[in-house]
């Protein structure tokens, strides 16, 4: 059966319920894609026999009219930070991990209870610390549009796997951009919900006060369907027929973005804004006076030390040198600096809310560039050369640090490579970000 590409998750589940599509067939297709795209290095672990057995059970249940939930029979992947019963959790590292309980993450259980098939676990940047998708222990995850380029991190395998159809979506995490950046580089949709909207029990922490779990999918509707299950908000987002039908009101922090993009991304973003206006959406300028969000974020690395302190004390060489150095910097901050950073989190959330005013969402690119070649550490912005990581954090860190919902979806293709736009909404207004993103996706599809 051919499934309409704009509503992949809902259409697949609907076809399974109607008996027009077999979960076994969906898993077999996903396994074929794992083999076909092996060189992209997206998968950390899979058990084909186990996945097919799950699919057969779900097929029998569907045939008997016993539907577990809105994801019945849909294969999904899980970032290898989450415990999944029957699968190892390695987090892309050789270092020993702290105890992670329960033995299956709450978010994974929610997906499973909704009928999803847990197909595989995906590769990531070591312990989710990094933004380029490069990992000396497990190998780099490669960009699906150009394997010589970065897939983005740290949810690199989740984004690249979703882009090539290994499952219908993936569960990722985002501490400073780790869902939105790989979504941008890989041309898929990534949603970082409000902090705490999706439970993280059973997942390896990095910076608990900034860690978020959320979906990576191929459409906004798919991300919304997964989020409804992950957040236990099915009643709010179940009916997606007219999802995002009204033109939202947007704001753009122009002064904050000054000099922060590569020239081709700047031109594409300005053209995109004009396209939204032409489609009927008011777009106004906004002031986002938050200083250096990446710098403000740094004292929270003390939380990472607390997560990994035992491994740092006993087997520091088991971390890659750059990861070990980043973790060790967490020791340098005083208790006062840490508490000041916690206060800055609340202040930044207030500033973002003020910038939004009565608008539905704030817009800015999810990345300053398209995916650069693997190994890149510096890019040329409008304002001159800039460290790649810092250039990315300027765009992604504010929403993560403030804990507000932020959606990334592709808005332009430059030289055959995608770049995403962030749709940022007030804390707790996750549906608002998704609805605004769905409207944008519809406008872009009508071109």
22 is catalytic: no
What pLDDT does residue 127 have?
Answer: 98
Stretch 235-251: mean pLDDT, rounded?
69
DSSP state of 254: H
Q: Give the pLDDT band (50/70/90) at residue 242.
A: low
Per the prediction, the chain carries an average pLDDT of 95
154 is catalytic: yes
CB-count exposure of residue 309 (10 Å: 0-12, 13-18, 19+): middle
CA angle 291, 249, 402 (to 5 degrees): 30
Question: For residues 102-114, b (16+ Cβ closer than 10 Å) or e, as one string?
Answer: eebbbbbbbbbeb
On the CB side of 225, CA atoms within 13 Å amount to 30
Cα-based distances in Å from 61 to 10, 65, 371, 405: 18, 6, 43, 36
Between strands 117-122 and 43-46, the pairing is antiparallel
Q: Give the pLDDT band (50/70/90) at residue 3.
A: very low
132-165 pLDDT, tens per residue? Answer: 999 999 999 999 999 999 999 999 999 999 999 9
53-73 pLDDT, tens per residue? Answer: 999 999 999 999 999 999 999
Q: Is residue 126's pLDDT more than 50?
A: yes
245 is catalytic: no
Q: How many CB atoms lie within 10 A of CB 390?
A: 14
Stretch 358-367: mean pLDDT, rounded?
98
DSSP state of 299: G
What pLDDT does residue 1 have?
Answer: 35
Q: What is the CA radius of gyration of the chain?
A: 20
22, 142, 154, 192: which one is catalytic?
154
255-283 pLDDT, tens per residue? Answer: 999 999 999 999 999 999 999 999 999 99
Cα-based distances in Å from 237 to 198, 240, 309, 344, 431: 15, 7, 40, 32, 8
What pLDDT does residue 293 have?
Answer: 83
Tokens 């995906």 belong to residue: 122
158, 178, 231, 408: which one is catalytic?
178
DSSP string covering 400-422: HHHT--EEEEEEEEETTEEEEEE
Residue 378: closest CA among 389, 370, 369, 367: 389
CB-based contact 424:193 (threshold 8 Å) = no
Residue 367 backbone phi and psi in degrees, to 5? -150, 150
What pLDDT does residue 234 have?
Answer: 59
Domains defined along the chain, listed by start: 1-447 (3.90.1300.10)
CA dist 13 and 19 (Å) reads: 10
Who's near 332: CB < 8 A, 6+ residues apart? none
22, 79, 142, 184: which one is catalytic?
79
Stretch 116-122: mean pLDDT, rounded?
98
What pLDDT does residue 236 have?
Answer: 52
Residue 176: closest CA among 401, 433, 351, 405: 401
287-303 pLDDT, tens per residue? Answer: 999 988 888 889 999 99
Tokens 């790649």 belong to residue: 388
**Cα 235 to chain center, whole Å?**
23
Between strands 169-174 and 378-381, the pairing is unpaired
Residue 406, beta-bridge partner list: 192, 424
416-445 pLDDT, tens per residue? Answer: 999 999 999 999 999 999 999 999 999 999
Per the confidence metrics, is the pTM higher than 0.95? Answer: yes
């Amino acid at each position: 059966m051919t499934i309409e590409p704009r509503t992949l998750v809902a259409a697949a589940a609907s076809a399974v319920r109607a008996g027009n599509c077999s979960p076994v067939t969906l898993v077999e297709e996903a396994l074929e894609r794992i083999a076909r795209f092996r060189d992209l290095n997206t998968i950390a672990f899979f058990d084909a026999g186990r996945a097919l057995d799950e699919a057969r059970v779900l097929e029998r249940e569907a045939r008997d009219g016993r539907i577990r939930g809105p994801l019945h029979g849909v294969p999904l992947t899980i970032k290898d930070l989450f415990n999944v019963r029957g699968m190892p959790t390695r987090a892309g590292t050789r270092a020993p991990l702290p105890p992670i309980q329960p033995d299956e993450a709450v978010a994974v259980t929610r997906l499973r209870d909704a009928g999803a098939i847990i197909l595989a676990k995906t590769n990531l940047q070591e312990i989710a610390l990094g933004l380029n998708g490069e990992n000396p222990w497990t190998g780099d995850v490669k960009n699906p549009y150009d394997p010589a380029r970065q897939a983005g991190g740290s949810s690199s395998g989740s984004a690249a796997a979703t882009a090539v159809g290994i499952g219908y979506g993936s569960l990722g995490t985002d501490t400073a951009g780790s869902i939105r950046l790989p979504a941008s580089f890989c041309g898929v949709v990534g949603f970082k919900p409000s902090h705490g909207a999706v439970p993280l029990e059973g997942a390896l922490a990095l910076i608990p006060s900034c860690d978020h779990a959320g979906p990576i999918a191929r459409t906004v509707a798919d991300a919304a369907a997964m989020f409804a299950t992950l957040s236990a908000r099915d009643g709010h987002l179940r009916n997606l027929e007219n999802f995002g039908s009204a033109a939202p009101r947007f704001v753009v922090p122009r002064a904050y973005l000054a000099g922060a993009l590569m020239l081709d991304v700047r031109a594409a973003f300005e053209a995109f804004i004009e396209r939204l206006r032409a489609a009927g959406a008011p777009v106004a300028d906004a002031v986002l006076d938050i200083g250096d969000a990446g710098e403000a974020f740094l004292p929270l690395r003390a939380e990472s030390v607390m997560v990994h302190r035992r491994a740092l004390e006993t087997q520091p060489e088991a971390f890659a040198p750059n990861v070990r150095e980043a973790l060790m910097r967490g020791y340098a901050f005083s208790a006062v600096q840490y508490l000041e950073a916690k206060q800055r989190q609340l202040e930044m959330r207030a500033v973002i809310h003020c910038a939004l005013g009565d608008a539905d969402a704030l817009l800015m690119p999810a990345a300053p560039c398209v995916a650069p070649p693997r190994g890149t550490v510096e890019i040329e912005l409008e304002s001159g050369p800039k460290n790649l990581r810092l250039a990315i954090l300027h765009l992604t860190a504010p929403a993560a640090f403030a804990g507000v919902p932020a959606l990334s979806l592709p808005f332009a293709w430059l030289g055959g490579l995608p770049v995403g736009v962030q749709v940022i909404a007030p804390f707790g207004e996750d549906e608002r970000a998704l609805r605004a993103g769905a409207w944008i996706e519809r406008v872009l599809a009508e071109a």
